[in-house]
Amino acid sequence: MSVPDFQTLMLPVLKQLAAGGEQPPATVREAVAAALQLTPEDLAALLPSGRQTTFANRVAWALGYLKQAGLLESPRRGVYRLTDRGRAALSEDVDRVDIQYLMRFPEFVAFRTPGSPTQPEVDLTLGAAKSEGSTLTPDEQMRLGYTRLRESLAAQVLDRVRQVSPKFFEELVVDLLVAMGYGGSREDAAAVVGRSGDEGIDGIIKEDRLGLDAIYVQAKRWKESVGRPDIQRFAGALQGQRARKGVFITTSTFTPDSKVYATNLQTTIVLIDGKELA
């Protein structure tokens, strides 16, 4: 099974702490993982940040919420134990402990009330999973909101780029390449980019400020997908320039066969589609 959401983990966490004494989170995680029969792959799954496992993060939030509701307490740092309230909750033989269940406790209501000392006024979820029944941790809500914001911004940027003049697009790509560390100075890059005028730009830029190698650039402000013939022509242009490296930038997409063709070439060709460009 996949890693349960943090609310589903609350009851197993409570039961584990009821099994005996004070326990550190690591002990709780190990016991809950065994009880739920989570696989090594489940336990190894990482958050998008890559800094913590999803399971450890969700158990941590389950522990934190249960503590806010007074079902757990932390007598010292890094250790948790069940409270009398927690034992009473388990004695009810409930089949689920979640946010809705915890809202019966005044401490947790205060914790969840906007403007309270423990709850920020600003809604950081950006519309993602706002309901009380949300299965996402606050971490995951913020990450989802951030991802949606970035995706929305990228879509707006790309739409704007598709509407600009060829000259503006030329300037944009020059700025992009220089910002990425290529082309030396902006003046150097601008001097050698933008010669074709074919609603895109073509040119050769320096790989670094010393000009130790050259990178051939082709950029197309297209709506249609870039196909294999376009990449073949680009590869031919690279050979004609005796260039070993190339970057093909488009505001649209690349067809699957064009990607395969670029991958199998001895010459290095990097494909940047509209999504990555944005």
**CATH number, position 112:** 1.10.10
Q: Residue 86: enclosing H or E segment and its boundaries? A: helix 84-91
For the whole model, what pTM was predicted? Answer: 0.56
Residue 108 has pLDDT above 60, yes or no: yes
Strand 245-250 versus strand 268-272 pairing type: parallel
Q: Residue 219: enclosing H or E segment and its boundaries? A: strand 214-220
Measure the CA–CA gap between 93 and 64, rounded to whole angstroms.
22
Task: Tell me: do 24 and 80 sit in the same domain.
Answer: yes
In a domain, 153, yes or no: no
Q: What percent of the chain has pLDDT over 70?
A: 85
Residue owning tokens 């063709």: 261
Task: Tell me: do 52 and 116 sit in the same domain.
Answer: yes
Q: What is the CATH number of the domain that holds 238?
A: 3.40.1340.10
In a domain, 225, yes or no: yes
Name the domain count of the chain. Answer: 2
Task: Tell me: do 38 and 109 sit in the same domain.
Answer: yes
In a domain, 268, yes or no: yes
- Quick count: other Cβ atoms within 10 Å of Cβ 229? 12
In a domain, 1, yes or no: no
Task: Tell me: do 98 and 188 sit in the same domain.
Answer: no
Tell me whether residue 180 is exposed, middle or buried, using C-beta atoms within 10 angstroms of its C-beta: 0 to 12, 13 to 18, 19 or more: exposed
Domain boundary, last residue among 61, 86, 120: 120
- Contact call for residues 205 and 215 (beta carbons, < 8 A): yes
Task: Tell me: do 171 and 273 sit in the same domain.
Answer: yes
- Contact call for residues 77 and 57 (beta carbons, < 8 A): no
Count of CA atoms in the C-beta half-sphere (13 A) of 216:
19
Task: Tell me: do 170 and 272 sit in the same domain.
Answer: yes
Give the tens place of pLDDT for each residue, 227-253: 999 999 888 888 877 778 888 999 999
Pick the residue with more confidence: 34 or 166? 34
Average pLDDT over the chain reads: 83
Strand 81-82 versus strand 72-73 pairing type: antiparallel
Task: Tell me: do 28 and 114 sit in the same domain.
Answer: yes
In a domain, 133, yes or no: no
Pick the residue with more confidence: 198 or 171? 171
Give the tens place of pLDDT for each residue, 58-102: 999 999 999 999 999 999 888 999 999 999 999 998 999 999 999
**Residue 114: band (very low, low, confident or very high) from pLDDT cuts 50, 70, 90:** low
Domain residues for the domain of 26 are 10-120
In a domain, 191, yes or no: yes
Measure the CA–CA gap between 51 and 62, rounded to whole angstroms.
19
